[in-house]
Amino acid sequence: MSPSTTPTSKTRLDTVFTPAYVAHLNQKLAHLEPQKIIEWAIVSLPNLYQTTAFGLTGLVILDMISKVSKEHAQQQRDRQRGPKEDVAVNHLVPLIFVDTLYHFDETIELAHRAAKHYGAPLHVYKPQACEDRQEFENKNGERLWETEPDIYDYLVKVEPARRAYEDLDVQAYFTGRRRSQNGDRAAIPIIELDNTVSPPMLKINALASWDYDTVWAYVQCNDVPYNPLIDKGYKSIGDVHSTQPTRPGENERDGRWRGQAKTECGLHKDYLRMRSSYLAAKKRKAALTASGTEPVMEVEPVPSS
């Protein structure tokens, strides 16, 4: 390639995946099984990752990616000529895990156990310059999820995730969201173009059409490692302070933020609004501190994207 044709930056996905093209793809992908959707994404999308907190849906996607990776390795073996040599099976989609510092111990253990089980590269991101809860609370105060929930979400989830996307040059990623989880997820398409960040990224909701029972059946039939808290009634598992077992007859995510008008943690909200809200609150707090007034950050709730 000559210097004149050498790309100086990666292609903006919004110039390739126009709204009309995304709609066309969603129509076509809707007829495919999730593993075929995953394979399409692997062969079609650059800089593809999987973001996961190792819930059941994320684990199913991880298992399916492993199967696709093995199939591709087998195809490579079949194409070889002459003496057959073993071809290493490389897990084709690296993992991003945002450690909020408030996960259950079982979740942290599972993250490393599952990554090792599948041979998947694991990138762990934590809140900026914090290694543990005590360090985070020394900087930001205790029970921030109660006093300033949007600030909490930004600091422990949104900012680390965005830092991961920038560090790793992520252009597309798998999520574990499904329509049967209701709330803001009830009408999600299989692929979404997120224009709230720059450069834009593609979200792939490969299991969007599956319900909880189908996911759980796959886990059992395929010996997928899972969080032992599932066996104690926790169908959807987040931070320790916002997660309770699900009651009979409830939706799987009803144990999250019980009693609150909240269905998302911030990772799937408008990033720019989250960041702007955080910076404004930080500025107000600094002004109050400088004046000797007790700082109280008041942040408007951030609407879902």
Instruction: Of 67, 76, 75, 11, give the one whose Cα is nearest residue 44.
Output: 11
Strand locations in the chain, DSSP E? 48-51, 95-98, 122-125, 172-174, 191-194, 201-204
Query: Could you tell me if residue 11 is left (phi over 0), alpha (psi between -120 and 50 degrees) or otherwise beta?
Result: beta
Are the beta carbons of 42 and 172 closer than 8 angstroms?
Answer: no
Helix, strand counts (H, E) of the chain: 11, 6
Q: Is 132 exposed, middle or buried (0-12, 13-18, 19+ CB in 10 A)?
A: exposed
Q: Is position 265 annotated as part of the catalytic site?
A: yes
**CA 32 centroid distance within chain:** 22
According to DSSP, the β-strands at 201-204 and 191-194 are antiparallel
Of residues 95, 164, 224, 265, which has the active-site annotation? 265
Are the beta carbons of 101 and 222 closer than 8 angstroms?
Answer: no
Report how far residue 244's alpha carbon sits from residue 34's, in angstroms, rounded to the nearest whole number.
29
* Catalytic residue IDs: 265
